[in-house]
């Protein structure tokens, strides 16, 4: 039997952190707390998903600063 499967990834923005200076482009822009989520798909339907990366995302230059799971939790609560 023929089974079409694969994975897909997308960025999910969790909350805005307000205006911060980006360490990469040095612009003061509204940065946000984001997660990269991956999902396994069968016939393009997501079957199960998991979080691969946690980061602070800069919409100006597209740079992401990686965070650990505990750092991420702290920032989400604050």
Q: Which residues within the stretch 33-62 sit at the binding site for Zn ion (CB under 5 A)?
A: 58, 60-61
Q: Does 7 bind Zn ion (CB under 5 A)?
A: no
The minimum distance between CB 2 and Zn ion, in angstroms, equals 44
The minimum distance between CB 13 and Zn ion, in angstroms, equals 15
The tokens describing 45, both together, are 């339907």
Dist. CA 27–CA 29, nearest whole Å: 6
Dist. CA 57–CA 75, nearest whole Å: 13
Which residue's structure tokens are 């989520």?
37
Closer CB to Zn ion, residue 39 or residue 60?
Answer: 60
């Amino acid at each position: 039997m023929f089974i079409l499967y694969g994975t897909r990834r997308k960025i999910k923005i969790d909350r805005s952190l307000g205006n911060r200076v980006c360490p990469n482009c040095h612009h003061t822009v509204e940065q946000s707390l984001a997660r990269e989520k991956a999902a396994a798909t069968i016939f393009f339907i997501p079957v199960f998903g998991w979080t691969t990366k946690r980061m602070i995302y800069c919409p100006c230059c597209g740079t992401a600063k990686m965070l650990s799971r505990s750092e991420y939790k702290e920032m989400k609560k604050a």
